[in-house]
Amino acid sequence: MTVLRWFCGVAMCLMMLVFPGCVRAEIGPASGAEAVVVEPVTAMEAGATSPGDWSVLRVGGEPEHELTVMRGTTKGGSSADYFESGRARISAALPEGYARPTVPGAVELKRYASYRQALLTSEGRGQSGMFWPLFRHISSRDIAMTAPVVMTGRMAGDEASETSMAFLYREPELGPTGAMEDGVVVEDVAPTYVLSVGVMGGRDDERFDALRGQLEAWLAAQGEGGRWVVDGEVRLLGYNGPDVARRYKWWELQLPVRWEAE
């Protein structure tokens, strides 16, 4: 498995050279940009963990570093936020209006606004078998590759356990929706709530399974007056490409949730 993932990482780098039409929405801090540390909103400050006037709500965890954000620019000249948390960095633009990343070690409730994605279901293809059709889809249309890549499904075991992979569009109005070549479907995702934990390091399925257990324990420990319940398959968000060292890769493990009032 480790050798296969290494090979796929090398192949992805080569593919980006072979298909120059695929440009990452790479960003860096703008000249003179001021770094701002984002102070998390906690459940105590918000007054409750129920749906309310928040997009990201800190509910647990002990992160070593908080989120630092700077206004940056993409290679295409558009503006975008540049995120850091200690040695973890995100060097590709997020979709417009997308909720900020959860820092490694933190547990947060998050609300995502609607966004557009190119989705491919697994059908036994495995991770690399889903990546290439999506890569060809954006390459042939000169669509910049954003962060994160979203993988859905059980995270332990072999790669075929992942049921889907999605590349997110930078702008929600970009291109048409519907069925495309190679089984790719472009669709608009409805607003979504998730419970998320941030992670830094190499992809370790046993570790991710333990973190999923941490999220499930938080859900089980909720008090009275309504509760969040799981509303979909586990998701893994990968914010970095193969150019980032394994130990510094930034991930989020998420459980889609919905609110059930008593």
pLDDT at residue 97 in the model: 93
Burial of 209 (0-12, 13-18, 19+ CB in 10 A): middle
Q: Please give the average per-residue pLDDT across 167-179, as a whole number.
A: 94
Residue 201 is given by DSSP the state S
Kindly give, in sequence order, each residue whose CB lies less than 8 Å from that of residue 230, ignoring residues fewer than 6 positions away.
216, 219, 255, 256, 257
Residue 153 has pLDDT above 90, yes or no: no
- Greater confidence (184 vs 32) lies with 184
Q: Please give the average per-residue pLDDT across 125-153, as a whole number.
A: 91
pLDDT in tens, 10-38: 344 434 433 344 455 666 665 566 789 99
pLDDT at residue 27 in the model: 63
Break the chain into its structural domains and give their ranges: 42-64+95-260
pLDDT at residue 26 in the model: 67
Class of CATH domain 42-64+95-260: alpha beta
pLDDT at residue 52 in the model: 84
pLDDT at residue 29 in the model: 60
Tokens of 149: 């890549």
Side-chain-side CA neighbours of residue 64 (13 Å): 8
Residue 172 has pLDDT above 70, yes or no: yes
- Greater confidence (234 vs 262) lies with 234
Give the Cα separation of 30 and 76 in Å (integer).
13
- Greater confidence (74 vs 54) lies with 54
pLDDT in tens, 67-123: 999 887 766 667 788 899 999 999 889 999 999 999 999 999 999 999 999 999 987
- Greater confidence (35 vs 171) lies with 171
Angle (CA) 231-118-198 rounded to 5° is 50
- Greater confidence (200 vs 124) lies with 200
pLDDT in tens, 196-254: 999 999 988 889 999 999 999 999 999 888 999 999 999 999 999 888 999 999 999 99
pLDDT at residue 126 in the model: 76
Q: Please give the average per-residue pLDDT across 35-62, as a whole number.
A: 88
| pTM of the predicted protein model | 0.86
Q: Which residue has the tokens 């519907």?
A: 178
1 band by pLDDT with thresholds 50, 70 and 90 = very low
C-beta separation of 262 from 222 below 8 A = no
